[in-house]
Amino acid sequence: MLEEDLKLCHAATNTTAAKTTIAATFSAASITNTATPAILTTAVVHTCKIIVQAAAAAKTATALFKQIQQCFKKTIRQSFKEESRTSGREPLVLSAALEADIEDAKTYYQIKQVGRLVDFACLMAYDMHGYWNLTAGAQHHSPLFPEIRSSIRSWLAAGFPKDKLVVTVSASGRSFTLVSAPVGSGVGQPVQGAGRVGDRTGEEGLLDYGEICEYLDSNTWRREWLPDRSVPVAMGNSSDGWQWVGYDDPESFSRKAQFVRTENLAGVALWTLEHDDFNGECGQGDWPLLRTLWEQLNPSTRSVWQLKLEKKTT
């Protein structure tokens, strides 16, 4: 089956460069005389990734791109089944990351087919706004309403199964440098560009949760809750000008997790662990964001988390 799928990839990409890449990759795996499912999976993943990326970069025909995507996913799924049969172990799990913009996704994905092939998929419900879109002014990058709710329901309406849809939320805040002092929540105010470089992230316009807490502990920063979006923002003056950051805290994470439960989705994922407050600097205990998600999704096992923390500290 794997060899047949490679041939399908070969046929689906009617370019000399693509065919040469596939032939060379498959030959390299065969020459070693160790063409196991794992080896062939590596060949298929490597080859199809190259082709898919090239097709996207060149903006080739949408139909061709979708065909390659399907070939890629079907080949991986089949290789997992073969590996399970030969090893006697449970099949490996196949997941995917999904962009939040459903209209853009429809250009490249066959939504229903992807939903059938994967075990679960993570909807990237963050970075919906940022310094890459300055014309919109200061905007929260991950508001529950309307953006995340709209994205979830659009994916479901397109035929993606809700029991496979995991919502990925972010422990990071996206920041801007404002043109002038914020008025009220500061939402929509003109911005000069990305916020100052994060001391911990090392990236402009990106702050981790612990650093945001440090800013809020100073007298020059304040927090505002956006009731229509169910997320907080923070703002304050600095040597780099007025800073504004849209972020999440335990309150907003609690609401997002509750929404996921109400919608009967598969779960929640966190991006990324090192941006949570793992040292308890916010005065909310270790891992307040991750812990909030755990407690909201597993209300009957909150004591289990506490037990794990106690074992860690003893």
The whole-number pLDDT of residue 75 equals: 75
Q: What averages of pLDDT result for each successive group of 10 residues across the chain (314 residues)?
A: 47 46 42 40 47 50 58 74 89 91 87 90 97 97 98 98 98 99 98 97 98 95 98 97 99 98 97 95 95 91 54 50
Name the architecture of domain 173-246: Roll (3.10)
CB count within 10 Å of CB 65 equals 21
The whole-number pLDDT of residue 76 equals: 78
The whole-number pLDDT of residue 24 equals: 45
Write the secondary structure of the chain as one string of H (helix), E (strand) and C (coil).
Answer: CHHHHHHHHHHHCCCHHHHHHHHHHHHHHHHCCCCCHHHHHHHHHHHHHHHHHHHHHHCCCHHHHHHHHHHHHHHHHHHHHHHHHHHCCCCCCCEEEECCCHHHHHHHCCHHHHHHHCCEEEEECCCCCCCCCHHHCCCCCCCHHHHHHHHHHHHHHCCCCHHHEEEEEECCEEEEEECCCCCCCCCCCCEEEECCECCCCCCECEECHHHHHHHHCCCCEEEEEECCCCEEEEEEEECCEEEEEECCCHHHHHHHHHHHHHCCCCEEEEECHHHCCCCCCCCCCCCHHHHHHHHHHCHHHHHHHHHHHHHHHC
